[in-house]
A and B are shown apart, each in its own frame.
Chain A
Amino acid sequence: MSLSAIIFILCLLAAFNFFIKKQKIYALQLSQGTNNKVKQTLPKYFGYVAALWSLIPALLVLLVIEIIDEPLIKNNLTQYMQAENIATADNYDLYLNEIKNIDINQINSIDETKKKIHTHYYNLQSIARNAKAVTVLALAVLMALFGLKKVKSQTPARIYFEKFIEIILLIAASIAILTTVGIVLSVLFESIRFFGEIPIVDFMFGLDWSPQTAIRSDQVGSSAAFGAVPLFIGTMLISTVALFIAVPLGLMSAIFLSEYASSKFRSIAKPVLEILAGIPTVVYGFFAALTVAPFIRSFGESLGLSVASESALAAGLVMGIMIIPFVSSLADDVISAVPNAMREGSLGLGATKSETIVKVLIPAALPGIVGGVLLAASRAIGETMIVVMAAGLAANLTVNPLNAVTTVTVQIVTLLTGDQEFNSAKTLAAFALGLMLFITTLVLNVIALHVVRKYREQYE
């Protein structure tokens, strides 16, 4: 019996329980008369509780079985193969997969050993399926009867049911924690395995990055090097270019919109600026690679400079434009949080608007602005598609924005796309880079959020 059929039957059972209990309690309450003073719970709540009794334990058991049945089958299959003295191929997992994927219609064209294992596997699978269905359905029926018996007219059914809903809501809220834990564990485990092969010092301070491991040992450049410094420098270079574009433009736009523009202009300009934030990054990447980079290259050549066709300048420029709305909306928030009294005080003393802004508003809003810039920096460091499409792949150690550099995110993408075995140092390196990226952005975010919050409290 398939999974969806089991779930469907469980739901039917729960619905059945619900209606039985609801009708029973309804009849009971009716027979007691409506004019008694006893506080009565609506009959549907008794129905809900009865339905939950039949549904929840069975679903939990089903979940547990779903998780453990695959390893159990695999374990049994291994024992079977050992008992039958079947020599497995080098790659055990691959061999198992091959057996699992045997098409039942073409069974005759396959050699005897594999056929034997496949039959065994097939039997195991059908036993597991039937056992699952029987266990879960039997439990559900049992618990349904128990629930019908247990829920009486004196049971505080509504309170039970609402407690249950509250627990569901709490679980939903906790998924954020689970996600964080999942991210940390998944990058941390693979990183630890990576640092088992490559010393952490070599990774953090090595100046040479060439993750290609050669197939033959006598090949040129066969030794893979995992020194991530060129990647860190490249990431910082592109992010710096981006911030040099985004911070002045974003800040000035925010100041202009909040202090100078008429409300009509603002109501048009703000949404248009938001469009920049809504354009997918892959579009920016395409634009950077095919329009901006050639333009900068030919412009640089006309000035007599040699510009790489995948220059850091092009990627950084486009990335800067992308985070303008991000900076401007954050700056807008903090500038409008500055109390009006300060603004009016300065204007009343005869300062011009620009003097008020430069000498009063910006110093007062500075912590908030710094927080916003930090958030923008973390956004720039983690940005992927623009650099994947417009920055280079070769790890050059340079701070000249006219050269091609590569970044952490670019390397994660190139290391993990395409077919490769999962356990090589090359793929594990991507997780180590991911860990660095996660830690850096986390630290930046925590500092930024802390600064912004402190700043807000100051004026509240």
Chain B
Amino acid sequence: MSKNNNTSKIEKSLKRRYLKENIFKASGYASIGIAFMFLVVLLADIGIKAMPAFIQTQIELKLDLSYESLQLNPESSVAEIKKVDFRQVIRKALRKQFPDVKKRKEKKQLYSLISSGAEYQLRDMVLENKELIGNEHSFNLYADDDVDALIKGTINRKLAQSERRVKDFKISLIEVLEKNNQVSKKFNWTFFSSGDSREPELAGIKGAIMGSIYTILVTLMLSFPVAVAAAIYLEEFAPKNRMIDFIEININNLAAVPSIVFGLLGLAVFINFFSLPRSAPIVGGIVLSLMTLPTIIIASRSAIKAVPPSLREAALGLGASKMQTVFHHVFPAALPGILTGTIIGMAQALGETAPLLMIGMVAFIVDIPQTIVDPATVLPIQVFLWADSPERGFLEKTSAAILVLIGFLIIMNALAIYLRKKFEKKW
């Protein structure tokens, strides 16, 4: 009787329990869904913001490059051409096209249609092809970032004048240019071929990419040999004693130390004590290699651990010494795993920002670094710098730089996965 009672009790509660079960399962689904949704929103948001950065507005102008207007003669040297005031040439062309613009304020608006970097663009084109001098030619010149934004539609023309950056008068000028088909949109090669700039339309990421490459190379050269040597020692040679325990605890703790603390170490030790140059990839590389060392050591140790003991025993049995066993047999067998760990460590170093802020890599650097001791900046810091800039044009550049950074990370991780898949051995 009591048994029946219990069964009916359980049967009655079943509905509620199954409901609970379903709710629990659904909340599991939901939490994964939220994480995925966030990822999608993040990538989509940045992707959409980045798109305009790959296109650049150019304005076609007929420029008078006759000898009289440049104050040159056919025998002029390169140095003399460099001295020519190309800004006046561009302004003259603008005045010629809009003869009605007379007022000082309006003239200022007119000149600001063209980027302040256009004169250097023009100078470089003339230096490259000196035959341009002496005639009238049409040139596509960089538009100013406000004009660029207006053409791309990021500034809404229909807003009231007080609510947008570009005034009505300037828009009327742009509309004339558009009617004459003088405005064109081109792929933005400048973004990939130039260094940083205060003007959004001239800013590029080549300097940051080169800085990142130098920094990562230094990191790789330092951390890979040291980490592999440490991992081999700890797995194959280390005796069981206090010292080795202490080393292991240290490695585990270093893996969890906040990255900014490594920046403090770099500032106090390498810059102030050893007086290495500030802002240089070499210091950045040293700091990042100390930071990635634990990651690579831990990955390498598990790769070495995965090599079956039979391999070691066979080598030892054939008369190889311990050192020969390790370097001729164990290490090559563990290499794919070690490389995978190294690439993941390098990807971590490539995306790292905070420690590099501490050692001065946050400076505004226009020149593209040539060696590991030149002042440089890296991609994540370029993102940080641009994200802080008030100009609207930098918003899209920041997003585009992020896309490039994520692109590099995807390539590195794909390489790691490929290596793992290709060389993974089931012993």
Contacts and interface: CB of A to CB of B under 8 A. Distances in A.
Interface of A: 70, 158, 162, 165-166, 168-170, 172-177, 179-180, 182-183, 186-187, 189-190, 248-250, 252-253, 255-257, 260, 269, 272-273, 275-276, 278-287, 289-291, 321, 324-325, 350, 352-355, 357-358, 375, 378-379, 381-385, 388-389, 409, 412-413, 416-417, 422, 430-431, 434, 437-438, 441-442, 445-446, 449
Contact of A290 (B10, B238, B395): B395
A65 B21 CA distance: 72
A256 B39 contact: no
B166 interface: no
Nearest to B268: A186
A384 B353 contact: yes
**Nearest 10 interchain pairs by C-beta:** A382-B258, A256-B28, A280-B351, A186-B268, A172-B229, A354-B24, A169-B233, A384-B354, A252-B31, A173-B230
Given A287-B45, A384-B258, A422 B272 contact: yes
Interface stretch (B65-73, B109-117, B178-186, B398-406): B398-406
Most B Cβ at <10 Å: residue of A260, A278, A321, A358: A278
Given A186-B268, A354-B21, A422-B272, A281 B230 contact: no
Nearest to B261: A438
B25 A354 contact: yes
12 contacts: A165-B323, A166-B323, A169-B233, A175-B293, A177-B250, A252-B32, A279-B351, A280-B353, A280-B380, A282-B351, A416-B358, A434-B264
A354 B405 CA distance: 42
Nearest to A380: B258
A179 B229 contact: no
Contacts of A357: 24
B253 A446 contact: yes
A416 B232 CA distance: 38
Contacts of B268: 186-187, 189-190, 431
Contacts of B217: none
A187 B261 contact: yes
B32 A269 contact: yes
B122 interface: no
Contact of A170 (B31, B233, B253, B290): B233
Given A172-B226, A249-B31, A413-B357, 5 more contacts: A176-B297, A187-B264, A260-B25, A417-B362, A449-B252
Nearest to B251: A176
B423 interface: no
Nearest to B403: A283
A155 to B, nearest CB: 16
B97 interface: no
Given A162-B323, A182-B269, A283-B405, A249 B34 contact: yes
Contacts of B42: 279, 283-284, 287
A256 B25 contact: yes
A282 B353 contact: yes
A361 B292 CA distance: 35
A260 B28 contact: yes
Nearest to B388: A389
Given A176-B254, A180-B254, A278 B265 contact: no
A383 B354 CA distance: 9
Contact of B230 (A176, A260, A379): A176
B294 A176 contact: yes
Contacts of B35: 249, 253, 273, 276, 321, 324-325
B352 interface: yes
B427 interface: no
Nearest to B297: A176
B260 interface: yes
A314 B178 CA distance: 42
Nearest to A165: B323
Interface string B34-63: 111011001001100000000000000000
Nearest to B233: A169
Nearest to A385: B353
A352 B20 contact: yes
A173 B28 contact: no
A305 B357 CA distance: 35
Contacts of B225: 172
Nearest to B352: A280
A322 to B, nearest CB: 10
Contacts of A269: 32, 36
Given A158-B321, A172-B229, A354-B21, A183 B39 contact: no
A327 to B, nearest CB: 11
Nearest to A446: B253
Contacts of A186: 264-265, 267-269
Nearest to A358: B24
B353 A281 contact: yes
A352 B321 contact: no
B108 interface: no
Contacts of B25: 256, 260, 353-354
B265 A183 contact: yes
Most A Cβ at <10 Å: residue of B36, B353, B383, B413: B353
A172 B290 CA distance: 12
Interface in B262-284: 262, 264-265, 267-269, 272, 275
A158 B297 CA distance: 27
Nearest to A269: B32
Contacts of A283: 42, 46, 351, 383, 402, 405-406
Contact of A172 (B230, B259, B358): B230
Contact of A430 (B264, B354, B381, B399): B264
B91 to A, nearest CB: 36
B380 to A, nearest CB: 4
Contact of A257 (B32, B290, B350): B32
Contacts of B267: 186, 416
Given A286-B402, A384-B259, A291 B45 contact: yes
A190 B261 CA distance: 13
A281 B261 contact: no
A237 B403 CA distance: 31
B409 A280 contact: yes
Contact of A278 (B38, B233, B354, B413): B413
Interface in B370-398: 380-381, 383-384, 387, 395, 398
B383 A286 contact: yes
A384 B260 contact: yes
B177 interface: no
A190 B34 CA distance: 44
Interface string B404-420: 01100100010000000
B257 interface: yes
Contacts of A175: 226, 230, 290, 293
Contacts of B405: 280, 283
B117 to A, nearest CB: 25
Contacts of B32: 252-253, 256-257, 269, 273
